[in-house]
Amino acid sequence: MPASLRKFLTTFIKGKHANLQRASIGQAIMSATCPRGFLLPLQIGLCVTLDHKYGHRDLIDLIYNFGFCSSYSESTLYKKNASATQGVGGEVAAGSLLHLIGDNVDHNAKTLDGENVVHVMGQMGAITPAAPIKKQIRRNKISLNVIRKIGHHNIVFQKDPKSVLKLLKFTSVRPVVDDVLNTKVDVLWQVSMHVSRARPMWSGYMQAIHQGQTNPGPRSQLFLPMIDVSPGSPKCVRSTLE
């Protein structure tokens, strides 16, 4: 950076985020000088953040025209490459806990005409401790067919749910059954309600029980494909379980 520009930035930009502001202006100048020569991290980061938080193309293109962030098309390209790089599923390391979650995903649920309404089943997983995430995203041209393959989920048709329930057999998990801490925790909590002494609420109660134990650390989220079927149908429930 030229000395004159560095002196200008030092003089007029002060405060808590001064370094970030100087870097933003510097990258904006670099982008304006050679728009096709650089893919600057602050500009693409701001573009993706605005797209994720507001989802408004006009807002992104307006700030892009002022030279402070990348274009909306660049944000779309980044998300495609991130989807292809991260993918869905993946292996869970030994000793980790994978908690699978399924719930409704609704969009435009309160429209008067009922058009462009999305009501599907969304899936994700929580891995504890956190699994490593691929942070390097390459900039390639990704076709929609690649995205479709990543988000594909096999649909299993289920005609009569009651007939399947008779065939289900649950295997007893011995480590959980034999663990006194897991089997007696609820009973102890219920009994504590009849004690006159002050007691903590459920969160404080669980914290007291696990005090002194090793914390596995934060967890990471694993995004799984959505199932484009009505969440209340037996076909969707069976496909989710499968």
- 43-88 pLDDT, tens digit per residue, is 788 888 898 888 888 989 888 888 888 889 888 998 888 888 877 7
For residue 124, being part of any structural domain is answered with no
pLDDT in tens, 8-48: 555 545 565 666 666 777 777 777 777 676 777 777 888 88
Instruction: Assess whether pLDDT exceeds 70 at residue 105.
Output: yes
Q: Is 54 exposed, middle or buried (0-12, 13-18, 19+ CB in 10 A)?
A: exposed
For residue 9, being part of any structural domain is answered with yes
For residue 45, being part of any structural domain is answered with yes
Cα 113 to the chain's mean position, in Å?
31
For residue 13, being part of any structural domain is answered with yes
The model's pTM is 0.61
For residue 12, being part of any structural domain is answered with yes
For residue 189, being part of any structural domain is answered with no
69 is in which domain, residue-wise? 3-83
Instruction: Assess whether pLDDT exceeds 60 at residue 1.
Output: no
pLDDT of residue 84: 83
Instruction: Assess whether pLDDT exceeds 80 at residue 237.
Output: yes
For residue 11, being part of any structural domain is answered with yes
For residue 115, being part of any structural domain is answered with no
**Number of structural domains in the chain:** 1
Q: What gap in Å lies between CA 78 and CA 43, rounded to an integer?
A: 12
